[in-house]
Structure 1
Amino acid sequence: MHEEMQQVAQVAVPVERAKAASTLMADYSGRVTELARIRREAIEEAAAGGMSQSEIAAHLGVSRGRVGQLASQGPPPERAFFGTDLVTVSLGGKYEAGKSPEEMGEVIAREDLANFDHLRKLMGALKLDSQYEVIPPTGIVNLNRDNHVVVCGPRLSPIIAQVLEGDDNLRFQKDHAWHLVDLKTQEVYRSPMDEDGSAADVGYLARLPRLDGKGTFIYAAGIHAIGANGVVHYLENNLADLYRDVRTRRFSTLISCRYDPKTLEVIESKRVTPIYRHEA
């Protein structure tokens, strides 16, 4: 018997043993799902590299028909973009306006709530559960954890602002208004909302390093809150291609979007800079 199962079997109190067994089963289930994803991705890579189904079948010791089944089982490869387990989405919080300091509570923009709903559905299709948390108005957020997405502008979090300083390609800057700059081309990207009031914005998408140096997190933010919705819209429609390009390596890019001013639903998004890779 496997050591972990032996430990569970030796728990003296029956209800605690049942609880431990359930926890271990959930862990094993998660591992099986991720292994199925890895296998599916490997088969797709082998096929893309020129191997026929018959050749792949011979290597795996299964029938040609079984290879076709394995290639469609498990979540799609791009699931790894977000993680392998429960994903936490951190949303930037603000104090309620128009109230005394004693009455002020922490709130998040409705655009951010809509963003989480879209992310939840996207990750659900990838067989990933998700939850959200509110970053307090102090901007203090724990970046040192796996399976983490942060949606919070640098003006709301000094920690995020510090991490963004490490991107040598793209940068948030402020003069009379916040904007984004491509440091390689010196091109400035301002929000149409600030320029002529158009229902459009620009957002930043990246995989950035954790402060402990032991991993990364996905980061999305707009010049305005709606810009992050444009980033999520881009992920909804381009995740598979983006994952094939960057996998789980660090990168950053800028996304422009247009939205319906009445519903705040994004109707178009597109990448406006190259995908800058932060690793060799």
Structure 2
Amino acid sequence: MFIDIDEVLASVAQATEPIERIKRVGDALIEVKHLTAELGRVRREEIEGLIADGMAQNEIGRKIGLTSARMSQLLSSGPAPERAFFGAKAQPVIVAVGQKLEADKAKPGPVVSTNDMEAYDKLRDLVEDLGLKSTYEVIKPPGSVRLNRDGLVIICGPRLSPLIAQILEVDDRLGFAKDDEGWHLVDQAAGITYRSPEDIDESGDIAYFGRLPRPDGKGSFLYIAGIHAAGAAGVVHYLRHELPTLYREVRTRRFSMLISCRYDPETQEIISSERITPIYKHEV
């Protein structure tokens, strides 16, 4: 993304009212701020990559005309490279959470589980730590959601959304399945079935996490879903601890994996999380 200065100034000048001109200036400044942050992130990521390859920080500084002090400042204060995991064009990150109908009610209404709300709250904190903003929306029954948007994160099981269930079929390594014992996850590549610890009265769950293609073919979205509700919060717990490592592995490419988590049975707070499958990369 590059900003055409002449085009921006012309747009401001074309506004006939002072209030409208002020609004257009404000919108342009937001774009400039976001572009500045993203360019700073790219620069920091490239510098860190050169250092990882063995080039000395001082040598890099000499080649790009920066002092050692300025180089240290860039590496310590610039936007974290993993910020791009949620989409460089994403401002804000959109987190869409699935609703389900209340059980055992004469007139059931739609509700969002407390675990899914915990997942959103922790995810919001994470993206804010990366210098991004987030918004929240619900996916109402029967699970329709507009997927063709930048910066989209979906927290919604396939049982709540036939649309999501169809998109998941593009993943030929991992996926959800259902049999007489209930919903579970399958690693088709390894031939392993994973069932939730909750189904044997243990305080844990397993979740699918990946980046899936948008229907319009112009991008992708992040997808999180547990066998039960706790799994989604487990994925966010994993991201809070492992995002830099995961980003170095997959960047913004499509992938999928399974995450196992444990939670406190009293508070439902996630206490541990770990990856239990390989990170399956869907793109070379």
TM-score using structure 2 length: 0.94
Counterpart for residue 182 of structure 1: 187
Given the alignment of the two structures, is residue 160 of structure 1 paired with residue 164 of structure 2, yes or no?
yes
Residue 98 of structure 1, CA deviation: 5.1
Among candidates 115, 122, 127, match of residue 123 of structure 1:
127
Given the alignment of the two structures, is residue 136 of structure 1 paired with residue 178 of structure 2, yes or no?
no
Secondary structure in 2 matching 1:156: coil
Q: Distance in 2 between matches of 1:267 and 1:62?
A: 43
Q: Distance in 2 between matches of 1:69 and 1:56?
A: 14
Among candidates 65, 76, 79, match of residue 80 of structure 2:
76
- Output the aligned Cα RMSD: 1.3
- Are the counterparts in 1 of residues 127 and 133 from structure 2 also a CA contact under 8 Å? yes
Counterpart for residue 44 of structure 2: 40
Deviations 1:60-100 (A, max 9, x none): 11222211112223221011111232000010012344555
Matches within 5 A, 1:239-250: 239-250=243-254
Among candidates 60, 63, 81, match of residue 64 of structure 2:
60
Residue 105 of structure 1, CA deviation: 3.9
Deviations 1:23-58 (A, max 9, x none): 111111111111111111111111111211222112
Deviations 1:108-143 (A, max 9, x none): 111111111000111110001011100011110111
Among candidates 9, 16, 22, match of residue 18 of structure 1:
22
Given the alignment of the two structures, is residue 87 of structure 1 paired with residue 93 of structure 2, yes or no?
yes
TM-score using structure 1 length: 0.95
- Are the counterparts in 1 of residues 87 and 252 from structure 2 also a CA contact under 8 Å? no
Secondary structure in 2 matching 1:171: strand
Q: Which residue identity is paired with 2:18? A: P
Secondary structure in 2 matching 1:71: helix
Secondary structure in 1 matching 2:76: coil
Q: Distance in 1 between matches of 2:102 and 2:23?
A: 41
Sequence identity percentage: 53
Structure 1 unaligned residues grouped into runs of 5+: none
